[in-house]
Amino acid sequence: MTFELSERLKALPPYLFKELDRIRDEVKARGVDVIDLGVGDPDRPTPDYVIKSLQKAAEDADNHKYPVYSGMNAFLDVVAKWYKNRHGVTLNPKTEICSLIGSKEGIAQFPMAFINPGDLALIPEPSYPVYRSGTLFAGGQSYFLPLLEKNKFLPDLNTIPTDILGKAKLLWINYPNNPTGAPASSEFYASVVELAKKWNIIVASDAAYSEVTWLSTPHPSILEIPGAKEVAIEFHSLSKTFNMTGWRVGWAAGNETLVKGLGLVKSNVDSGVSQAIQIAGMSALEGPREPVIEMGRIYQRRREILVKALKSANLSVFETSHTFYVWLKVPVGLKSADFASKLLNEIGVVATPGNGFGPSGEGFARFALVQDDKRIKEAADRLASLKF
């Protein structure tokens, strides 16, 4: 018997990070000592106090049952309190927040709540591939907004044609940005809100990296902008902030109708986040900030080691104080994929080719600072030996 994949699946390109894993494993099988700076999966453990919270919660039989779809009231209350303390934003935990099994699933499922077949979503590129795939699964179409270095990797909202704005249903934004590491200002968010209100466009803001920084001031949330709750929903994750990628817990917050729509989709396709994990998430958000601050210092130190080596190899690096990514220009005459292949095959270092995030990523590559200092130094030494 033969079975055909759906047309929607056929239309998807190979998932970037799954393909990276395959190529890396092929090289490892040849006996190469590979240093993987490809996928953004933190190498440090989850803070002890979070782990202990989970252990205690896991022993409580009340947490062995189906969770509430939208999230435990206690978890939603803690998220609301975090927004108030961190961003000065007031949210109704009962109607303006819902829990997520990590922000990826919320991002992927959100278009199904508001995108009808043929509807248009505005998607930045280079970007996280799930904005596009979630739109495609909902039957929507994508209009791509190039993120260019000359614009500090922010979309130029003034260049979007009016006929496109008239058709657009949804605008994705992501800051601090993956893959470039670029931050956004409150002024930029205000311009996004103004545009969205003028053209009746939903804004979906992916803020998964907002806490990954070594600066003392928080990166702004779009929900801080007056009027943002009329048009915007923000996606958050504990994955990168607290080294909890495998735990799968996050939330969406913002406009009541947008949160409700996402919740309706989720109630039909999943059964919510484990209560024990939500309790652990509460301990993370209510716990000391020192582990988060220390991780920022660690990423800063690793970045300095790697960037020094890249510059010694005559490579140009985009400067930032956010995320754990290093975004660089590949040497003139090389394609992004050729550069990544050269690194992997000649020195055993995995980088992500920029074109895997979209056409405007061609000519760039991304390193993730997710190995310990010793391995980062080893990667730096290998990179410094290259001549371009």
Residues of the chain with pLDDT under 70: 13-20, 388
Give the C-alpha separation, 247 to 273, whole Å.
Answer: 10
Q: What's the confidence (pLDDT) of residue 14?
A: 66
Which whole-number Å values give the CA distances from 192 to 150, 176, 322, in the listed order? Answer: 19, 15, 21
Q: What's the confidence (pLDDT) of residue 109?
A: 96
Q: Which residues contact 187 (CB under 8 A, 6 or more apart)?
A: none
CA quadruple 296, 301, 304, 310: dihedral sign: negative
Alpha helices in 208-349 (DSSP H): 256-269, 275-286, 290-312, 336-347
> Read out DSSP for 132-152?
HHHHHHTT-EEEEEE--GGGT
pTM for the predicted model, two decimal places: 0.93
> Read out DSSP for 45-110?
PPPHHHHHHHHHHHT-GGGGSPPPTT--HHHHHHHHHHHHHHH-----TTTSEEEESSHHHHHHHH
Q: Which of 225, 217, 223, 215 is nearest to 323 (CA)?
A: 215
List, for residues 109-136, the tens digit of each pLDDT value.
999 999 999 999 999 999 999 999 999 9
| Number of neighbouring beta carbons within 10 Å of residue 270 | 13
> Can you read off the two tokens belonging to residue 327?
């975004």
Q: What's the confidence (pLDDT) of residue 17?
A: 62
Separation of CA 80 from chain center = 21
Please report the domains of the chain, with CATH numbers, ordered by start residue: 7-45+290-383 (3.90.1150.10), 48-286 (3.40.640.10)
Give the C-alpha separation, 106 to 376, whole Å.
Answer: 32
